Structure 1
Amino acid sequence: MFVQELAPLGSLGLSALVAALPLATVLVLLGAVRLKAHVAGLLGLAVAALVAVIVFGMPVGQTISGAVQGAAFGLFPIMWIVVNALWIYRLTVRTGHFDVLRRSFGRISDDPRIQALIIAFCFGGLMEALAGFGAPVAISTVMLVALGFAPVKAAIVALVANTAPVAFGAMGTPVVTLAQVTGLPLESVSSIVGRQTPLLAVVVPLLLVLIVDGRRGLRETWAPALACGLAFGFVQFLASNYVSAQLADIGAALAGVAAVMLVPSARRPARAEVKASVLTGSATESFDGEDNRGDVVKAYAPYLLIILIFSIGQLPPVKKLLDSATWKFDWPFLDVAAANGKPVSGNTFSLPLLSTGGTLVLLAGIVTAVVLKVKLADTAREWGATVHELRFAILTVTSVLALAYVMNLSGQTTTIGNLIAGAGGALAFLSPILGWFGVAVSGSDTSANALFGALQVTAANQAGFSPDLLASANSSGGVLGKMISPQNLTIACAAAQLTGQEGNLLRKVLPWSIGLLLVMCLIVAGQASFLSWMLP
């Protein structure tokens, strides 16, 4: 048995400084050297393994075994979810039904402020729910430019809109990862994140109409913007707390669109002066005309199928049946105990073969292929193309999770957490900043949760805070770093054909990112004290 040490170098501060080297390596290589994320992840993993063996005394065999376990979790269930979700999106693009869905949204209103709400916030939220990993920013930016938005404004709107849905993106991947690396129940972290990010959802649509048309936009369209945010946030809260983390963003996005359509002012034709001042670009697409009703139904079918299948999967008899296919076993060549001598949870591994979100999404994808009449060979070809498209994302996620597992199992995370706990009462206020920083550098709430989730739990336990709260704050704070991450800025520039203007976009969205982060810090600090009634 390998027993973790809190201060292998005799000093907690010095030990924590050395333990932070793998994280520092990843962050510097990404942020300063600007290496590809998968290269930075692999180099960070190498540093984590060296520190684990040389400084913390973890046997080489157990270090390798821990890294393999982390990579295995990165493949299943994490990337299993992402691959199958993006596969469904590719099927709709292949058959042309994605364009039908896009036109359906575009016809709701010709007011560019309302279009920003529907396309960037609601439709972008739907794309975040299904695909994540930059897809919502790219797709929303292209659609807004096609409508006549200036490229810079389209990119800014898409970036700012890609906040509230992120924690539950890619079928709940960030919170699923957070639960796994911290050992906390998924239901617990999902419910707390679902009591934090919905508050952002109320604010962000108002910011979007302000960005699109200034104070006039806020004055004239606050009602549909507020209705959109309230509906999105309320459904996200309900789904994440009482239904399923995987369904939170899908339901919220559809509710947001429905709320906008129910506000009479949102359906009024836009005044000429509004269009003239906002749509300074050249529209490349028209949403005039009608699509066949059957095609419209088919365009919505994949998302309705996902909701239906996940809902059926939550029924107690079905859930019990699916859970019965979960395989739990002792991970080979791994025998680790915490500093107190108790075995750590990482010694065992769980494979939820049927109950995992990726398998349910796969089933929805198969039914989608049947509904959209995609040939079997083409369906399989699109799945293979999806894996190829995500190959570097797969390598990044597996390497980052391998790094996180090595740090957690060797005791590096515990050592850093014990040192950070010295922040005392300020820890609750500061905890979202750690997640924000992680996402700003890595571009992924999933990666930031893998890197810092266990650290937040350790610090919370030492400082006397709720570990569930601070772990959840890592994910909720992280969503606000998404808009300033180099990865997302590059995607937005590519989609809007703004080559080399990442710095300009960063300067424009950074104030919104910091301002919303401050709001989240205040929310978490309040929930740790006088707003504790908000927690489950």
Structure 2
Amino acid sequence: MRYVQNFIPIHDHLFLSALVALIPIAFFFWALAIKRMAAMKASLITLIISLFISVIVYKMPVAFPVMSATQGAVYGIIPIGWIIVTSVFLYKLTVKTGQFEIIRNSVVSITEDRRLQALLIAFSFGAFLEGAAGFGAPVAISAALLVGLGFNPLYAAGICLLANTAPVAFGAIGSPIIAMAGPTGVSALEISKMVGRQLPFISAFIPLYLIIIMAGFKKALQVLPALLVSGFSFAITQYFTSNFMGPELPDVLSALVSLVVLAVFLKFWKPKSIFRFAHEEAAATLSVSEPSKAISPHTRWEIVRAWSPFIILTVFITIWGIPQIKNALTGHYTGTNALLKAVNYVGSVLTFNPNVPFINNHIMNGNGQGISAAYKLEILGSAGTAIFIAAIITKYIVKISWKDWVLVLGETLKELTFPVLTIIFVVAFAYVMNASGMITTLALALAKTGSFFPFFSPILGWLGVFITGSDTSSNVLFGALQQVSAQSVGMNPILALAANSSGGVTGKMISPQSIAVACAATGLIGKESELFRFTVKHSLFLLLLICIITFIQSFFLTWMVP
């Protein structure tokens, strides 16, 4: 039994078909933003709606969308759910052993100002983790750190999601752009160059935008020098690395440069007043002429020891992201290095890719080719495993007993049951939308906008990331369509490919997966609708900026296209 994807299932009416395909997405928006429904319930109902539409409208045999949903559910567990569990577990270990209090004091010793703490952790440190790992780890870890510092959980989650906009296109050692190069046949470096001529405008703006959201325009101006240092150091590095080095290192290097430059800058410059949240006991502002509390009471060794779990995590995540090592960890290494060959053997044993029953190569795409479908279980290769190893090493550094270590792990698993279930339903919904052809139906409708396509091109990327939760998946999904549509309307295909990736980054903050990750990390379980309402307006605003930039580059600043 086979199913041939039909992207216009309703009597050859594309836009009517697109309206039907839009129903699950529209319901999810309504459920979270207006009804304020619990995310797990909203995602489960959305999954059920997508299953019904795939069977009734798209005429899929019942087994096909059901098995597609199981494929997505497995991916929701590994790597995504595994990363969330291990990230929160590591954080809770530092809290349980009192190490996080030392971390908090060490950050305060750099600056007590909440605005500047957000820049250091949400923007710079979060971008570094995105560049090294991606898949939810940056938001989970940086948001947990901010909550530990005393940030309101909703603000911590929202700020980290928003800050994550800047690095997503080059996340996980350039995976989104490298993945797009394959199916489109366009050089990854050329796509990287074009993305590097769009996103730096947004990256330079994000720090200012973050602080305006946090504290208002006037209080943002009070730290304008720091905002300029943070944003422009990141943006300039992002431009040069993406244009002259390729897509692998822009995030890692931009994050490190902005983190170091801002930390050094704060040694010589202080804001006139210290900003704190209204709910804190201290006054909202404190004159720097008063006795300083910004001197850490801990020794340098104590600070290093407290930070060591996250230092180790960073080292392991970076190692896991190196292409050759990642190949070995998943059993795909073909080189001659003896150590990597040994790792490759273990990785092959712990990597399982069984075919999905009924649907593997039985769903035919628009070109009549069978689409492979396999459960992706890369146990050793998952970034979550790197974090788990860091948690094991942390056990010896913070000197916690195995009994307490296991108890903390049990508490974490119990606490994250519902968020992980939410992610399972969400990813299952994304896979059903993709397998049935609903996503492509929506993309084809947007591609019919003719001369306005350069403006609407980033919306495809935004839509893809909202549904799949991944800029990489969105680029693979829509890359070829962007390329063909651009050629048909006279738009430079490289610009369209870059617009897909750049537009996609603005959808990350409202992706149900991202929302669930952020809520799980900050203790907002059950309040996903509040976070969604917080981020959705910012997502649409930043998407509009990308649409305008792309339109201008297509018609007026054509010299910017490589």
- TM-score range (shorter-chain normalised) is 0.7 to 0.9
Residue 447 of structure 2 corresponds to which residue in structure 1?
421
- 2:180–2:479 Cα contact (<8 Å) kept: no
Tell me the CA shift for residue 296 of structure 1: 0.8
- 2:140–2:517 Cα contact (<8 Å) kept: yes
| Equivalent residues in 2 for 1:187-336, closer than 5 Å | 197-207=199-209, 212=215, 214=217, 218=221, 221-233=223-235, 255-263=257-265, 267-268=268-269, 270-271=271-272, 274-275=273-274, 282-283=281-282, 287-313=294-320, 318-324=325-331, 325=348, 326-334=351-359, 335-336=362-363
Residue 80 of structure 1 corresponds to which residue in structure 2?
82
Tell me the SS of whatever aligns to 2:367: coil
Residue 485 of structure 2 corresponds to which residue in structure 1?
463
Residue 504 of structure 2 corresponds to which residue in structure 1?
475
Over residues 148-188 of structure 1, what are the superposed CA-to-partner deviations in whole Å (9 max), with x where a residue is unaligned?
xxx8xx9779845642325768x958997999999969x96
Residue 27 of structure 1 corresponds to which residue in structure 2?
29
Pick from 56, 79, 98 the counterpart of residue 54 of structure 1: 56
| Equivalent residues in 2 for 1:513-532, closer than 5 Å | 515-525=541-551
| Equivalent residues in 2 for 1:427-466, closer than 5 Å | 427-433=453-459, 447=469, 456-457=478-479, 459-464=481-486, 465=493
Further displaced range: 60-69 or 306-315: 306-315
Residue 342 of structure 2 corresponds to which residue in structure 1?
none
Q: 1:277 to 1:295 in 2, by over 3 A?
A: closer
Matched, 1:101 2:103: yes
- 1:437–1:481 Cα contact (<8 Å) kept: no
Coordinate RMSD, CA, aligned: 4.9
Q: 1:142 to 1:307 in 2, by over 3 A?
A: closer
Q: 2: distance between equivalents of 1:277 and 1:353?
A: 42
Tell me the CA shift for residue 491 of structure 1: 10
Residue 336 of structure 2 corresponds to which residue in structure 1?
none
Residue 362 of structure 1 corresponds to which residue in structure 2?
388
Q: 2: distance between equivalents of 1:360 and 1:489?
A: 20
| Structure 2 gap ranges (5+) | 284-291, 332-347, 487-492
Q: 1: distance between equivalents of 2:64 and 2:78?
A: 21
Matched, 1:376 2:375: no
Determine what percentage of the aligned residue pairs are the same residue: 31
Q: 1:521 to 1:103 in 2, by over 3 A?
A: farther
Residue 338 of structure 1 corresponds to which residue in structure 2?
365
Tell me the SS of whatever aligns to 1:65: helix
Tell me the CA shift for residue 390 of structure 1: 2.2
What TM-score does the superposition give when structure 2 sets the normalisation length?
Answer: 0.72
Q: 2: distance between equivalents of 1:103 and 1:58?
A: 57
Aligned partner letter, 1:7: I
- 1:174–1:446 Cα contact (<8 Å) kept: no
Over residues 66-111 of structure 1, what are the superposed CA-to-partner deviations in whole Å (9 max), with x where a residue is unaligned?
1111111111122222222222222222222222122111111356
Q: 1:371 to 1:198 in 2, by over 3 A?
A: farther
- 1:108–1:267 Cα contact (<8 Å) kept: no
Tell me the CA shift for residue 352 of structure 1: 2.9
- 1:163–1:480 Cα contact (<8 Å) kept: yes
Pick from 9, 13, 16 the counterpart of residue 14 of structure 1: 16
Over residues 82-141 of structure 1, what are the superposed CA-to-partner deviations in whole Å (9 max), with x where a residue is unaligned?
222222222222222222122111111356654553355446667987745677557537
More helix by share: 1
Tell me the CA shift for residue 337 of structure 1: 0.6
Q: 2: distance between equivalents of 1:438 and 1:315?
A: 26
Over residues 255-305 of structure 1, what are the superposed CA-to-partner deviations in whole Å (9 max), with x where a residue is unaligned?
433212222x6534554xx35999896428954442132221122222322
